[in-house]
Homo-oligomer: A and B are copies of this chain.
Amino acid sequence: MNAREIRLAARPHGLPGLDAFHLVETAIPDPAPGQVLIRNLYMSLDPGMLMLIGAYPDIPIPPYEVGAPLYGDAVGEVMASGEPSLKEGDVVLHRHGWREYALADAAQVRQVDPDAYPSLSTYLGFGLVAYAGLTAVAGLRPGETVFVSSAAGATGSMAGQIARLLGAGRVVGSAGTPEKVARLTGTLGFDAAFDHHDGPIADRLREAAPDGVDVYFDTVGGEQLRAAIDVMNAHGRIALCGALARQSAGGSPDAGPGDPMRLIGKRLTLRGFTMNDHLDLASEFGRRLRQWLADGSLVYEETVVDGLENAPQALLDLVRGTYTGKVVVRLTR
């Protein structure tokens, strides 16, 4: 019996095409002592994967290597274990996505409760990065106005809803199509939203946030970051979480926030962060998330793509803005 995995065929210049990916059949290995063999059930697609494909400078984790399988968050079932603390049938979260069967060091996987959420795939769009950005990074206080860019996306839709649940006074979002904008103020409960293609972003943001912005949860950078700085109130905080503008531009460096005098004038704080710095918040957040999902106060949106062979196209579509909410790939055949 064979498994399949996707490898990086070549390092693309600019935005990758399907020819950057190579689907390969491999043998299913046996776990050595200390290892587990995992049958992956779901894997995450994340826009940041484009940075790893393109090997952008300055990224926080190692880029994908040409000829090697890609990686990313996945949830799967232990099939065989060389480590007494994990047994066959345990469900684990780990970083060896982009393959149907993964061999992992037991120390690098985390066992999860299979019954905590309606679907195991929820572990992949868990929203810890949104929660950490709003709390530990930006220090959101009740009553403040929060702006979220790419707000119909996996992280943005969680950030906006969590901001509201944490007591934000006003939650404003941007997205790239009229349908997404409608979804923000509809299902997702944002107070106001706009399409970032509709004229000067700073003007649209000022209309949506007439009292200014206190916290900006930034997954985009670029023009939206500079517009947010225009509209920020004194002592505002910006949680820098992603670089979709750069990813959509095929990796060309982003001009960034601009003149530091603007940051001094408003006494703003910009802070780059990744989820890995805030794993200490995972259990606190997990408790709150389960409660919010149970009482219906948070809407969790997910698109499930079937089959590893469809993952490359889905990733390209994701970066192009095709989806709303979290996108996962179901790997069981």
Q: Which A positions have Cβ atoms within 8 angstroms of B?
A: 51, 56, 58-60, 218, 221, 225, 235, 240-243, 246, 253-274, 277
A274 neighbours in B (Cβ, 8 Å) = 264, 267
Nearest CB of chain B from residue A166's CB, rounded to whole Å: 21
For this complex, 6 residue pairs linking A to B, each with C-beta atoms less than 8 Å apart, are A58-B261, A60-B266, A60-B267, A253-B259, A260-B270, A268-B271
Given contacts A269-B270, A270-B269, A270-B270, A260 and B254 within 8 Å (CB-CB): yes
Nearest CB of chain B from residue A133's CB, rounded to whole Å: 11
Given contacts A256-B256, A257-B257, A270 and B263 within 8 Å (CB-CB): yes
A264 neighbours in B (Cβ, 8 Å) = 60, 240-243, 272-274
A294–B254 alpha-carbon span in the complex (Å): 49
A271–B260 alpha-carbon span in the complex (Å): 9
- Whether the Cβ atoms of A246 and B271 lie closer than 8 Å is no
Nearest CB of chain B from residue A50's CB, rounded to whole Å: 12
- Whether the Cβ atoms of B225 and A59 lie closer than 8 Å is no
**Which listed residue (B58, B60, B242, B268) contacts A259, Cβ 8 A?**
B58
- Whether the Cβ atoms of B225 and A60 lie closer than 8 Å is no
A269–B272 alpha-carbon span in the complex (Å): 6
A51–B218 alpha-carbon span in the complex (Å): 30
A56 neighbours in B (Cβ, 8 Å) = 261
A246–B272 alpha-carbon span in the complex (Å): 25
A218–B263 alpha-carbon span in the complex (Å): 12
Nearest CB of chain B from residue A129's CB, rounded to whole Å: 11
- Whether the Cβ atoms of B267 and A261 lie closer than 8 Å is no
- Whether the Cβ atoms of B269 and A243 lie closer than 8 Å is no
A240 neighbours in B (Cβ, 8 Å) = 260, 263-264
List 7 extra interface pairs beyond A51-B261, A221-B261, A267-B272, CB under 8 A: A60-B264, A218-B260, A243-B261, A263-B271, A266-B272, A267-B277, A269-B272
